Structure 1
């Protein structure tokens, strides 16, 4: 019985680390890229025209990107419930851990990540709710 219990615990630990093992979305591969390149990474999209440029939804709406000047500029990634609401969450976005510029009860923001204007993570009920990334345009 003890050996079986050990296997179960080991399996559960493996599963829990697998959630954070790789990024939910590696924003470094899509930030600043054109719509064709982004579609190769994220798959098909549903797009509409807004004031700033095309706004496209990927992965059943869990990723929304506004293309400004033809480049992926404003990126919103939803459904991050399994991502902890702390500085380690950057790993789930394909980013290296960095010191936050601001930490509030409902949002953590980074303004010093190379290649990005800002990265904001919003608190969910348990972990994180969504991330909002600005690449170039305020």
Structure 2
């Protein structure tokens, strides 16, 4: 097994060759924008409809405003995806380009994964599966049995 590590401000991104089931066309592929700069995020999500300065850095809106990314210290750190319709369960991670995994907490109001490693649902261009350390990933319900939004904090609280 080949293992490599990249460090982003004290946070490690581990890459390992391990198999995984891939999701068909994630609504937003978190592994491809995880801690990336604006130019690399734009390659994945298209040109932002708007960017603004906020307290923590630049906040840009993509995909008709349904995806927002806050760039903290130049890296995509806080990611929000709204107006979605995916299953409200642990398998919904597949719709975000992540393999399904056990949540830290779940009830009818939120499903949350805190301080957890998440396996990318598909190998990267090098054929390796990425393991992403995510500070917090929260899934919020909409219609019965469906999630309507997701909020990801990669490294900054």
Shift of 1:118: 1.2
- The answer as to 2:148 corresponding to 1:129 is yes
Pairwise CA distance, 1:84:
0.4
Cα pair 1:73 1:136 within 8 Å, conserved: yes
Matched residue of 2:78: which SS? strand
Structure 1 alignment gaps of length 5 or more:
1-19
Other-structure match for 1:95: 98
CA distance in 1, matches of 2:75, 2:103: 26
Matched, 1:74 2:78: yes
2:46 to 30, 43, 53: 43
Residue 21 (structure 1) aligned to one of 13, 20, 24? 24
Q: Which has the larger radius of gyration?
A: 1
Report if the CA contact (8 A) 1:121-1:130 is conserved.
yes
* Counterpart contact for 1:22–1:91, Cα < 8 Å: no
Higher relative contact order (CA 8 A, sep 6+): 2
Q: 4+ runs of 1 displaced by more than 4 Å?
A: none
Q: Whose helix fraction is larger, Structure 1's or Structure 2's?
A: 1
TM-score w.r.t. the length of structure 2 is 0.72
Task: Return the offset for 1:130.
Answer: 0.3
Partner SS, residue 150 of structure 2 = strand
* Cα-Cα RMSD: 1.1
